[in-house]
Amino acid sequence: MKIENNILKHYLKNVYFITGTAYAGKSTMVRMLSERHDMICCGENYHSAISDIVAVPDVQPDLCYMKNLTDWKEFVTRTPEEYERWIYSVGREAAEFEIVELLSIARDQKVIVDTNIPIDILKEISDYHHVAAMVSPQSMSVERFFDRSDPEKQFLLGVIESCDDPEAVMANYKKGLALINSQKHYDEYVDSGFFTLVREDSGKDTREYVCGLLEKHFKLI
């Protein structure tokens, strides 16, 4: 069975998607917009409560990677190329879980989503005024990746520091981050045709300004 895209687009008309690269401000904007406009807030990986249970290796092998992981050192020591491949494959495998979850919650209330749904799928199920891309320079995405205090990143930092050669492991991990946030992927967002905001490393607090731009783009004001 396949649900046609025009049907999905209709039932997702209350959903606003923010996608993009790491450290671009996506999670902050999702939180601010949800608070200002009484929207349901779906942070990154909001689908995992279900996908962790339902995903099976034969159908969603990369979503199931963590289930078979016996040592987190294996996760942080993969080749940069494998890390890049895995990240984007997970986004594609998780897209169906994201969409079904959104269909279940967005019928009567607006929803704002920090999403990893691939650009080509977003073009099929949504439209210009319901999608925004936020990107940051590769140097910022890589070098500041561990600056945040969220538990997931601090856990990974702890794993890296526990390795026999933490400096080499960190260098390898950052090469993976550089591939994930490479110019090729950056251009995929910028050239997507969707509204795009580029974060600049100015040192200024631009949250209110950026939030205002998104409010206008999404026609929330």
In a domain, residue 219? The reply is no
Residue 201: the pLDDT is 73
- Asked if the structure places residue 217 within a domain, the reply is no
221 lies in a domain?
Answer: no
Contact present, 99 and 12 (Cβ < 8 Å): yes
Q: What are the pLDDT digits (tens) for 135-151? A: 998 888 888 888 878 88
pTM given for the model: 0.93
Query: Tell me, what CATH number does 109's domain have?
Result: 3.40.50
The answer to whether residue 43 scores a pLDDT higher than 80 is: yes
Q: Identify whether 218 is part of a domain.
A: no
Instruction: Using pLDDT thresholds of 50, 70 and 90, give the confidence band for residue 200.
Output: confident
Query: Angle, nearest 10°, between helix axes 80-105 and 166-180?
Result: 60
Q: How many domains does the chain have?
A: 1
- For residue 148, the enclosing domain spans 5-212
Rounded to whole angstroms, how far apart are CA atoms 79 and 56? 24
* Residue 32 located in a structural domain: yes
**Position 56 in a domain:** yes
